[in-house]
Every structure is written in structure tokens, then in C-alpha cells.
Structure 1
């Protein structure tokens, strides 16, 4: 984090290399344990500019939704040990992908999204083999658990106006757009599996290069779709008794993308080193979010059409004393989200990272890492039209703060 992820596949300073490049395990001596804790604080504030309701003649009510971001605690742990002098074993636990946005229940975009959450927990046993003094190879097996939750409001008043009952009958019964809201929630979980591969090569005594690949992992998120519905007088109860609004089983297939990283570390002087990284992520796999229901209701489909990204990072490290190392990093992290398909669930835009960090030795066998990163997020525009929800139009002002601490222990 202090390096803005620069050099991540080549550094191999501690047991976290299990995740970044399993081949880096060959650089570690004895048994090592790294325990990390990160506090992530994303902020996303929407400003409305022309949003319209599902019934355009009726003004859309609601506020801007508050801050859709919130602080999250993300732990991680890694272990490394010798099997033989040339064969190393490692184990890692972390959360490689995650997402949470949550708006006020009565905001203008409530019919598009209220809460969106994805949690992943990954377990990765890994092996590394030292081919010779310059070349090491690594492989890992990934078992990943994923849990997702999506909620939004349903405008039963607008549905009544668009039904065979018609606006006059609905108005007479007091069923007006935006006054008879329900709520839909889809949630589920799944295990998925993948692998990682790594190569570490000492080009010259001062320069090391790492190449790391993490495979895609496909999750079939299986769970339930549940609905909270308003009380309507007869015969309007037919509006809340359809397959579209009845509790049932639901599932969605989500493929988390493969990544390829090429990193370098160069020792310029005994005190100064420079690090670089290029990471490609195959986000174009995420072309749509399709939820299938067990009761015959039509699929819920949101077009995503994400694009692949290439992230660039660089950093400098300064060994100030035998006990203190200082780090500073920069990264350009483009969004996979195209403007045309941006939704309030992921109102993402391009990011620039600035980060600072330090490593301090507290004994011959242990050290502490601290890091802070601020992500400057480009303002994002949105114009999202959905059936029964109207058009959400406006702009997002966002940023992210990340604070990380890590304990490393060799024994």
C-alpha cells in the first residue's frame, strides 16, 4: 500500500508475496508470518441534475442519497515456510475483491439501487521452487467464497398507472406514483476456484523482475429474492401478487477477472530503490448482471459492458536507517466502467493514487509496516434509465482513503 502496489510482483519482502507472486517465497528465510489490517474509507456523493420518474409527468421526489460510501475493515494473513532449501510453501487469506454502496432509502435513485454489497474471502496455498540463483517459479491454488446483496425500491404506484387499472382508478384508490413503494432484495453466496502462477527473475544483481498471473474465478451466486410489499386495497392487490414480486430462489453468475502483473525492483544505491508495476485486468468479462429466478419471472438484466484496464504504478523506497525504511508511491488506475453504462451500484471513475508508508524493525525477528493512501477519483457523470425506475441523471464526487498496518514475524 505504501508503494501504491508498485513492485508488488517483484518485491517479495515478506509472506504477503503468497498473493502478489508465489515465486517470491524463495526469497524468504525460515518461517514467516504477516498479519495485516486495512481500513478502507470510500466516499461517493451524488448530485441530482434532471432525474425523472417512471411517469415523466410526475416530478421525482427524494434527496441525493447521502454518502454512498462507508468505512470497512479488511483483514489479511499470510504464512511462509521452508519445505527444502529450494522448495517453499505459503498460505494466504485475504479479500481480493469487494464492494459496498448504500444510499438513503428515500433518495431519488431508490428505484435503481439502494444497497449493493460484494464480499470475497480467498484462501491460497502456494508452492515456490528455486530453479537457480536467478530464477524462481511459483504456483497457487485459490479457493474463494463470495457473498452478494442487492436491494432497490419498487414503485407500485407507477406500476398501477401503467397497468390495466389506469391512472384514474389508481388515483381514486390513493395509489399514486412514489407513494406506495415496496422493496426487493436479492442475496446469495458461492464458492469458486482458480489458480495463480508466478515467475521471479534476478536480471542483474541490482534489478529483479516479477511476473504474476491470477486466473478468473466464476461464482454462481445462489440464494433468495425477497420482496416487501405495500398494503393495497382489492382488487389492486393483483399488482403485488405476480411472479415478479413473489419470494423465490434466485441466482446470478459473476466472473471475477484474471489479472497479469509485471513488476520490477531496482536498487539504485544502498539506500535508494525504485519500483514499477503494470497490471492488466480482464474486466471485459463483466458484460451484464443477469439475475435468474426460479418461479418463471423474467430475468433481471443490467447491461454493464465493462472494459479491460491497465494500471500503472511507480514508487521509491529510502532506507533511512537500519531500522526505518520510507516509501512513497503513485498509481494511475483507470476505471473499467464506461460512461454510457455507469450505474449507481458502481459509480466508478478513473483514480490516481498517492501513498506513503514505512517499515520499522522492532526486533531481529519482527517488523511493522504502516501505510496511507489517498485515491483521487475523477468526477463521474451518470444517466441511467431503467424500466419502472425512470432516469437517474447527475454527477458523483468521490474519493477513497486507505489506512493499513501490518505485523511481520520470522521464527
Structure 2
């Protein structure tokens, strides 16, 4: 019974944390710079133009005079999610889950007689969180995400100092689906974005071979989400059995004796169902100023070789926002039924259960959130006069997301129940262990100088997942991934360059039934979040990015 009131809020919080982790890895460096995208982001030793503010500030010393960069990047997210039934599927003896079962109300069996097979729950459109409106906006089916950027840099004549600032999006991603989509139980709409709106940066040329640089990034961070809720848990299966088997003889015919013996649960107008919809939740959190800093070194001992390093600091934030939950009738009726019985009231008082479940509830929520630190190093080498190869290795500290702690502006009855189950929970806070890892990745890029004006580029970046196998889910439509890039650079004249790039990221994942505690684990201990308990889950994510960069010197 304690699961009933606990689940909606805990689900919301957990989804929020996981979506952050998911898209941080999915979207990092996909919307920063066009040339870097085509080179597999292996550009630490060869940063492109003013985007060196992000990739290696030291390389700004290669800019002469006044230069401006304007870029436009479009990203299309194609996320397919499939659910299927394994042999022996059931939740506390029930398998008539309407998500995967064709049986209608005319079939009285608790076990499904006609399974659907594979059920699709594909993402249908892109979503963005709009800061001014403080809500998510659907972009419509087939409409890609857009990430325009702008930058300016100045190197005074004869000076070894270069100054720059840029507006760019280190991370932007979001998706949504219409009502009734099978994937809506782990995010009907999700949006995550980090936008750097000011990045004052300075670089200094120490000598002909060595440059150093550093800058401060001032960013906006936001998380938004709307999700349906359901909890196919063994405890709720037991409550369904009590309602349909034990309580059937006493429906509309109860007395004080049955109320005392059965804790009033048989007085509920609607019984619990592990496959039923428990309600819907909307949540948004943001921070307007999230500072960080970048430090870089560039060493160029020869014309055909260079080495670069960059450190991007962590950014610690205090995200604040609001949540709103609409509760379904069944959990309201169960608590109402318990309150109609003297023994139900006593049990609720002893355990500290709420006296009622409201139709809806709202409040304020905040959390300490850390955008992880990142280190990257790489080389550039001309294997032939016209052929350049870049190779980078990088590390991101996703281990900082080992645990998220959420704090509320009031005592939450759900947490009063949950604290009986975990030492990580109090009346006004909840700490969720996620157990992310900090992987190393590499990228490789090739640039061929076809003519004095034309350059051809290609890149490859395999991305190792930071998400443990036991935490994969459809909210995180990616495990390991591969990023491929192609690009063309054309110089119109001595002061004007144009870059055109296309990138393609692909990730396929299979989550067998009962293998993830954030998707499809069965049993009594899947109390937090397993809306697809007992089902096989597959995801297939394709992200296509198209970018254009116009760079000119004045």
C-alpha cells in the first residue's frame, strides 16, 4: 500500500535525473561547431575559429584582427521504442496488460489469451523548454531542433593577446509524443538544454610554439518533463487480487466487522490494477546563471604537428522549479477506503500514511545538480602535405551523478511513507542512487585539402555509455553510440570561409525483461520505477545533424 502514494513523486524525480544523464551523453558537442562535428570532435589540437572558446581557448591566438562566426545547426531525433512479451510474463499472476494484450473487457481471464507481439512507442516530435514561457513547446512532427550560434574575437595588431566570446549550446535535446503512445510512461515530453550566452575568453601566445588560454562560461540550464505514470508492481498485483477475489462478496454489502478485518479496502469505488494509469506529472527546473571555466594549452613544435589539451570545469548548480501531479481515482479510493475503517485508520497512523490522496497536488522542488567536468587531449598530424589526421581522447566525470538529492518546500506525505523503506529519504528530501560511471572516449578526424579553396573532412567518434547495464531504460534511448561526420570547407576569399557539415549518430539497445531496475524489473523491490516490468524493451536512436558556418574577418 505504501507504493500507491509514493510512486508519482518518486517517479518524477527519478525521471528528471535520468533524463539529464541521458541527454548529456546523447547531445554533448553535437550543437557547438560545424567543423568539429565533421571531424568527430577531434579538434583539441586544431580548434576551429572562435569555437576554440569551447574546444581549446589557447587556439584563439591563431585569429588575426577582428573575426565573427555565425552558425546554424539543425538536429533531428528519430527514436524508436519497442515492447514485447517474453515467455512466462505476468505480474502477481496477471498478464492482461492492455499495452501488450489484445483481450477486451469481454474476456474475463486474468491471463492474456492474445498478445499483440511487438508494440511501438516511437518518439513523434521534438520539444524545447522555453525559458520566458517556462514551459515545453512542441515543434511538430518532422520539425528539427535548431541551435543558432554566434561568436566574435579580436586580436589587436601586434598583440599576443586575443579576446573572444561566443553564444552556443553545449547541450540541447528534447522529444515528445501524443497521448496514448506506449512510450509515454517514461516521458511523454522531455527537454534538456544548456545554453552558454556569454563566454569571455582570453588567449596568450607565449612564443612561436606555445599558446595558453582560458575563459569563463555563463550558461542557462533547464530540465522539463511531462510523463504518464503506472506501476506494475507485485504489491499492486496483490491489491488487485484482494479487490477482485477477497472483496467481491462484500462489495456493496459490507459491515463494521468486514471493515475492521479488511482495513476498509473493500469500500474503494475503484480497485487497484498494476497495469492501470496512476496519473500524470509535469515538472520543470532551471537556473539562469550557471558559471564554469575552460583552460587550454596548444603546442605547435612543427608545422605538420600540434598537441592540445583542454579542461572544462564542472558547474555546480541549485536547480529550482515546480511540479504538478494529477492522481488517478484508484489510489484516492484506496486511501479513502482505509480511512473508513477504524483498523485502517490505526494502521495508517502507525505507519504515518496520508489521510487522503488529493486529485492533484503542486509544490516547489530544488536539487543540487552538477554539470560534469571534462578533459580532452589530442594531436594533429599531416601525414602528407594535403592530408591531415586528428586524434583525441577525452574523459567526462559522469560519476558525479552517483546520487541525486531532491529537496521540497514542504513535508510530502509520499516521503513520509518512503522513509520507512530507505535511509536516503526524509520528510522533505529524497536521495536517489544512480551509479553512473566516467568513461574514456576517443575521436578521429581527417581533413583533405583538395585545392587552395576546398577542404574535405570526415570524422568518427564512438561514444561509450556512462549508464550501467542495470539502469538502462527508454527515457535514455542510448547505450553505446557511434557518431559519423562529413564536411566541406570552402574559402571564398582571404577573409571569408564557409563550412557545411552533416553528422549522424546511431545507437541500438536491447533491455531483456527483468534486467534493468529503471525499466522492466519485476518483483516486490521494483517499487521506484519500472513501468514496463516483465517486458522486453528495445530502442533504436538515430540523430541527424546538419550545420552551416559562415566565418569572416574584418
Partner residue of 2:170 out of 71, 89, 96: 96
Q: Secondary structure at the match of 1:26?
A: helix
Match of 1:321 in 2: 451
Match of 1:357 in 2: 487
Q: Secondary structure at the match of 2:59?
A: helix
Partner residue of 1:81 out of 144, 154, 159: 154
Higher strand share: 1
Partner residue of 2:59 out of 6, 24, 34: 24
Match of 1:143 in 2: 218
Instruction: Give the Å deviation of 1:241.
Output: 4.9
Q: Does 1:266 align with 2:381?
A: yes
**CA-atom RMSD, angstroms?**
3.1
Q: Secondary structure at the match of 2:292?
A: strand
Match of 2:542 in 1: 399
Alignment length (residue pairs):
410
Partner residue of 1:222 out of 311, 320, 330: 320
Instruction: Give the Å deviation of 1:101.
Output: 4.0
Instruction: Give the Å deviation of 1:375.
Output: 1.8
Q: Please, what TM-score do these two structures have when normalized by structure 2? A: 0.67
Q: Distance in 2 between matches of 1:243 and 1:132?
A: 69
Give the direction of change, closer, same or farther, for the CA distance of 1:170–1:210 in structure 2 (3 Å limit): farther
Partner residue of 1:2 out of 30, 38, 53: 38
Q: Distance in 1 between matches of 2:331 and 2:475?
A: 33
User: Is the Cα–Cα contact under 8 Å of residues 160 and 175 in structure 1 kept in the other structure?
Assistant: no
Q: Distance in 2 between matches of 1:390 and 1:328?
A: 41
Deviations 1:42-72 (A, max 9, x none): 3221121348787662533335322267431
Instruction: Give the Å deviation of 1:208.
Output: 0.9
Deviations 1:149-176 (A, max 9, x none): 1232234999988779962467972455
User: Is the Cα–Cα contact under 8 Å of residues 183 and 229 in structure 1 kept in the other structure?
Assistant: yes
Give the direction of change, closer, same or farther, for the CA distance of 1:68–1:197 in structure 2 (3 Å limit): farther
Segment drifting more, 70-79 vs 200-209: 70-79
Q: Does 1:369 align with 2:491?
A: no
How do 1:97-176 and structure 2 match up within 5 A? 97-108=171-182, 110-122=184-196, 123-155=198-230, 167=243, 168=247, 173-176=269-272
Q: Distance in 1 between matches of 2:383 and 2:333?
A: 79
How do 1:25-104 and structure 2 match up within 5 A? 25-50=60-85, 57=94, 59-62=96-99, 63-67=119-123, 70=126, 71-83=144-156, 85-104=159-178
Segment drifting more, 240-249 vs 157-166: 157-166
User: Is the Cα–Cα contact under 8 Å of residues 332 and 358 in structure 2 kept in the other structure?
Assistant: no
Runs of 5+ unmatched residues, structure 1 = none
Q: Secondary structure at the match of 1:149?
A: strand
Instruction: Give the Å deviation of 1:270.
Output: 3.1
Instruction: Give the Å deviation of 1:22.
Output: 0.6
Instruction: Give the Å deviation of 1:306.
Output: 1.4
Bigger radius of gyration among the two: 2
Give the direction of change, closer, same or farther, for the CA distance of 1:300–1:395 in structure 2 (3 Å limit): farther
Higher helix share: 2
Instruction: Give the Å deviation of 1:183.
Output: 0.8
Instruction: Give the Å deviation of 1:204.
Output: 1.9
User: Is the Cα–Cα contact under 8 Å of residues 115 and 345 in structure 1 kept in the other structure?
Assistant: no
Give the direction of change, closer, same or farther, for the CA distance of 1:325–1:157 in structure 2 (3 Å limit): closer
Q: Please, what TM-score do these two structures have when normalized by structure 1? A: 0.89
User: Is the Cα–Cα contact under 8 Å of residues 35 and 76 in structure 1 kept in the other structure?
Assistant: yes
Q: Distance in 1 between matches of 2:459 and 2:153?
A: 26
